[in-house]
Amino acid sequence: MISKGRIKFVFCGIFLCFLFLAFRLGHIQIAQHQFYSEKSQNQRVRGPSNLPQVSRGSIYDRNGKELAVSIMVDSCYAIPYKMKNHKIYVRKLCSILNLDYKKTLKKLKSHRSFVWIKRKLNPEIAERIKRENFPGIGFIKEEKRFYPQNRLACQVIGVAGLDNQGLAGIEYFFDSYLRRKGKKNVKATKDGMHFVGCDVILTIDEVIQYIAEKELRKAFIKTKSKAATIIVQNTKSGEILAMANYPDFNPNKIDAFNIKYLKSPAVTDIFEPGSTFKVVTAAASLEEGVVSRKEKIFCENGKYYIKGFYIHDHEKEDWLTFDEVMEKSSNIGMTKIAFRMNNRDFYKYVRNFGFGNLTGIDLPNEVKGILHSPTRWTNRSVSSISFGQEIGVTAIQLISAFSCIGNSGVLMQPRIVKSVVNAKDELVKDFRLVKVRQVVSPSTAKMMVEILEGVVNDGTGREAAICGYPVAGKTGTAQKINFKTNTYEKNKYIASFVGFLPSDNPQITILVIFDEPQKNYWGGVVAAPVFSQVGFQVMNYLNILPQKDSTLVFQAEKEIIKNDKFKGNT
């Protein structure tokens, strides 16, 4: 039997233990409250940086030049209760970071233990804040997307958002690859496991992109155009070597003003091509055998009445051969030729050249354009379509059709991505050349090349000529149409030129478009000179030597290009 004394002893021992625990708990909650509160806050703050790091993959040009990379920068946070004198510190902090004072003050007066002040700061700004030594202000390292060449190929590359998600361009279209995790995308670092997304290698050539942008920008400013587009494509493979649009933006400095320029008009915008589309009509008529090149066609002295409407030419012409119809860009001559074809046959060729279809290029928001079924054509549809009206096309469709002519009649799918590789440089996905179809025979394509050479040598495209290189191409001048109202806009035009060179063995195709150029709006005057400037410089860069007796001229211009150094920052 347990004695009463022993029971009292045990009870007293238990009581003293509870008393000690109560004292200790009170001491922690009162005397050491600040210490443990700060420790808790610091643990919470450190939490994000202790997570496995995930880096977004990089984007490179075809030669391995960096176009988009990820860097580590400081993000600024605050522990509100530590900001003893809110108003003094907040006002100065807002001044440095260009933040709204009232909104920031409200955020800091909240009962939250952690608030973001501003994420992914410019290094100079972060250092300035650190020097101020604000109480309760700290920093966490975060990954930020950086574009080393600034504006170069901005609408192709696109941008990534604050949380490293793709928002436009390649960044958006290949987001799942660029952010991909997996066993082969892990790198061990001193801070632990580091996930690295896949890298995307483009077909874009950084130097050709620079050349194209430089010349387009100069002409864009000179012509005071509303917008402009240029594409340089490998004629035989379909690879896009350069693609640019103006206005553009700097992806390192996105704001509310330039966010509207994120899309790439080369694949998203529809326009009536005008006379550049005559290439399709001419190739179809030759392939169908409804016309011969030496046949003479009466062009009605510039005005032709048919089926209740008039067709006009810029110049008053009477009899022209088929070649001359193209050289002088006669709407009347082209209409008469198109009427010789069956509507469905004509429609078939337009479709086969890629119009009314997606090209399949790996860029977001590509559109099909506008091509109505022959069952919906009116009395004037064949005439209108024959010279590039009543049809809506994209720039990528148009250049691909011209490359088809330069590629012996074979239409290739345009490519802008070569491959995707993982962190170990192993191939994840290869984008091979895709032959879409044989649109016209090699013999028809050869005849079209000769005809398009005549356009540059003797016709409306003289300004596209390049000393030492045979050039084939076509001008276009189209009155702008409002696709919502189906009415043409007064004094608003689209000037264009599309062609390839050297025409005896085409290597590159170049498309140049100006939207609403001022003063002069003819494609042969506005767009063709840009083609010439870009074409010559690209030939030099690719080391494709000129022909004929043009060595002295070539060497002189080569020195000009040499002095115009590629700087990348456009």
DSSP SS3 for 31: helix
Angle of helix 86-97 relative to helix 101-108, nearest 10 degrees?
130
Q: Is 465 contained in some domain?
A: yes
- Report d(CA 160, CA 144) in Å as an integer: 9
Cβ neighbourhood burial of 254 (10 Å; 0-12, 13-18, 19+): middle
Q: Is 188 contained in some domain?
A: no
Peptide bond into 48 cis (omega under 30): no
DSSP SS3 for 211: helix
- Report d(CA 455, CA 282) in Å as an integer: 13
- Report d(CA 195, CA 193) in Å as an integer: 7
Q: Is 488 contained in some domain?
A: yes
What CATH number should be reported for the domain holding residue 502?
3.40.710.10
Identify the domain containing residue 310 by its residue range. Answer: 206-416+429-563
Quickly tell me which residue has 């326009």 as its tokens: 271
* Sheet arrangement for strand 508-515: 240-246, 227-234, 508-515, 487-501, 472-482
Count how many domains the chain has: 1
**Side-chain-side CA neighbours of residue 251 (13 Å):** 31
C-alpha dihedral sign at 400, 401, 404, 406? negative
pTM: 0.84
In 3D space, the residue among 106, 117, 110 whose CA is nearest the CA of residue 140 turns out to be 117
Q: Is 49 contained in some domain?
A: no
Q: Give the single-character DSSP code of 232.
A: E
Q: Is 390 contained in some domain?
A: yes
Q: Is 38 contained in some domain?
A: no
Q: Are the beta carbons of 200 and 166 closer than 8 angstroms?
A: no
Residues 6+ apart with CB under 8 A from 64: 201
Q: What is the pLDDT along the chain (570 residues), one digit of tens a residue?
A: 556 666 665 566 665 666 656 556 655 555 555 555 545 544 444 444 444 456 899 999 999 999 999 988 899 999 887 876 677 888 889 999 989 988 888 888 877 888 898 988 988 999 999 998 888 888 998 888 999 999 999 999 999 988 889 999 999 999 999 998 655 555 555 555 567 899 999 999 999 999 999 999 999 999 999 999 999 999 999 999 999 999 999 999 887 677 889 999 999 999 999 999 999 999 999 999 999 999 999 999 989 998 888 999 988 989 999 999 999 999 999 999 999 999 999 999 999 999 999 999 999 999 999 999 999 998 899 999 999 999 999 999 999 999 999 999 999 999 999 999 998 889 999 999 999 999 999 999 999 999 999 999 999 999 999 999 999 999 999 999 887 887 888 889 999 999 999 999 999 999 999 999 998 999 999 999 999 999 999 999 999 999 865 544 444 444 444 445 444 333
Q: Is 18 contained in some domain?
A: no
Q: Is 262 contained in some domain?
A: yes
